[in-house]
Structure 1
């Protein structure tokens, strides 16, 4: 048995959990401790706070999933100010073994290992994920996470990406208006400007302008809450439009990856799962011209594991250090 700390560091929160990897490869996680990244100047200070709050001794192994590209000696967070110096993490944190992985690479590890019971149906054929082939993993949150994994007999391989930063591709007039609005603010408009949590503000503002109403007075969380509660008709329409956009981009990634299936992940995806099923998500996912029939044959699932980033980080550590 190997003990470690699993970390999932996003743009807004850093989650820490004690984990164990059994001799049979089974992974167990303790209840996570969630810290706001904005409350800490670096991973080091957040780690020290976690250690103080921990109910048991902190292991000298760690699996760290981080929202940003993991290459080179320095990792700069995409949506917060932390900088990790990868070659010195073991010394900085007093660790023996460390695995560092992109956060959605970790989620892909979780999707690859999760049981069929940990997925719910969203679109396409209602059948389990295939045993072979490529599966796209997409998750809207503070940003838009994208990865994929390829299953083959006896194993799988994960490929992390920065796919959330591809260009936003409008499909209809309202999409055109959203893009026009965003181009006034940004030199280049990436897809996560629309298909991640904060993008709901841009969608709402565009729809409100069409109705001759003012821009929203509040942050994206207020819009999400009002839309899901159906207490604000424009917020509700914005969420429906968000689901359509997510369907479009999920279909684009499936085409680009040559995917046999798609997994939607992340807390926001889980929160809007029922809305996704009843929205135009599936229609937009299929809306790929001559490939519409092929797209209709791809199962689209949502992973329900409560902490896929932590579980997947531990799985990546197991593959690197326990095999």
Structure 2
């Protein structure tokens, strides 16, 4: 049995959990401690607070998933101000072994290791994820995470990406209006501007403007709530449009990755899972011209593990240090 701390550091929250890896590689997680990244100036001070809150000694091993590209000795977070110096993490945090991985690389590790019971069906054939081939992993949250993993006999390989920052491609005149609104304020419009939790604000505003309605100053949480409880028809339409955009983007990445299946991840995806099934998500996923029939044959699943970033980070540690 190997003990470690699993960390999942996103744009808004940092989640810490004690973890155990058994001799068979099985990962067991304790209940996570969630801290707001804006309350701390660095990972070091957040780690110290986690250690104070912990009800037992902190292990000298860590698996750290972060929202940003893991390249070089200095890692700058994509959606918060923390900077990690990778070559000194063991000294700074008092660790013996460290695995540092992109947050959506960690989610891909989770998707590769989670049992079938941790997935629900969204679109395409209602079949398990294939045991060979490439599987795309896409998740809207504070930003848009994208990764993929390739399964082969006896193992798998994860490839993290920064796919959330590719250009947004409109499909219809409403997408055109959303893009025009964003392009008026940004030099470049990535898919993350629309297909992420905060993107609902821009979708809502564009739809309201199309009907010449006043655009209230609402935050993304208020719009999501108003759409989910159906108290605001424009918010309802905005969530439907969000689901369509997510379907388009998921289909684009499946094509780009040569995927045999797709996994949607993240807390936002889980919260809107029933809406995704009812929406035009699947239609947009398939809407790829001459490849429409091929796209219809790809299973699309939603991972329901409550902490895929933590679970996947620990699984990545096991592959790096214990295999």
Report the equivalent of 2:232: 232
- How many angstroms does 1:24 deviate by? 1.0
- How many angstroms does 1:218 deviate by? 2.0
Report the equivalent of 1:58: 58
Q: Deviations over 1:124-171 (max 9, x none)?
A: 000100010000000000000000000001110000000000000000
Report the equivalent of 2:209: 209
Report the equivalent of 2:82: 82
Quote the Cα distance in structure 2 between the aligned partners of 1:303 and 1:251: 17
Quote the Cα distance in structure 2 between the aligned partners of 1:186 and 1:284: 26
Quote the Cα distance in structure 1 between the aligned partners of 2:298 and 2:310: 27
Which segments of structure 1 move beyond 6 Å, counting only runs of 4 or more?
none
RMSD, aligned α-carbons: 0.5
Q: Secondary structure at the match of 2:70?
A: coil
**Is 1:284 aligned with 2:248?**
no
Quote the Cα distance in structure 1 between the aligned partners of 2:216 and 2:195: 18
Q: Secondary structure at the match of 1:195?
A: coil
Report the equivalent of 1:23: 23
Report the equivalent of 1:142: 142
- How many angstroms does 1:211 deviate by? 1.4
Query: Size of the alignment, in residue pairs?
Result: 323
Q: Secondary structure at the match of 2:217?
A: coil
- How many angstroms does 1:310 deviate by? 0.0
Q: How do 1:160-239 residues align onto structure 2 when only pairs under 5 Å count?
A: 160-239=160-239
Q: Secondary structure at the match of 2:194?
A: helix
Quote the Cα distance in structure 1 between the aligned partners of 2:308 and 2:260: 21
Q: Secondary structure at the match of 1:189?
A: coil
Q: Note the residue ranges of structure 2 that are not aligned, 5 or more in a row.
A: none
- How many angstroms does 1:215 deviate by? 1.6
Report the equivalent of 1:269: 269
Report the equivalent of 1:9: 9
Report the equivalent of 1:118: 118
Report the equivalent of 1:102: 102
Q: Deviations over 1:1-57 (max 9, x none)?
A: 100000000000000000000111111000000000000000000000000000111
Q: Secondary structure at the match of 2:277?
A: helix
Quote the Cα distance in structure 1 between the aligned partners of 2:48 and 2:229: 39
Report the equivalent of 1:45: 45
- How many angstroms does 1:217 deviate by? 2.2
Q: Tell me if the contact between 1:201 and 1:216 (Cα under 8 Å) persists in the aligned partners.
A: no
Quote the Cα distance in structure 1 between the aligned partners of 2:148 and 2:136: 4
Report the equivalent of 1:249: 249
Q: Tell me if the contact between 1:204 and 1:216 (Cα under 8 Å) persists in the aligned partners.
A: no
Q: Tell me if the contact between 1:5 and 1:17 (Cα under 8 Å) persists in the aligned partners.
A: yes
Q: Secondary structure at the match of 1:259?
A: coil
TM-score (norm 2): 1.00
Q: Note the residue ranges of structure 1 that are not aligned, 5 or more in a row.
A: none
Quote the Cα distance in structure 1 between the aligned partners of 2:184 and 2:212: 19
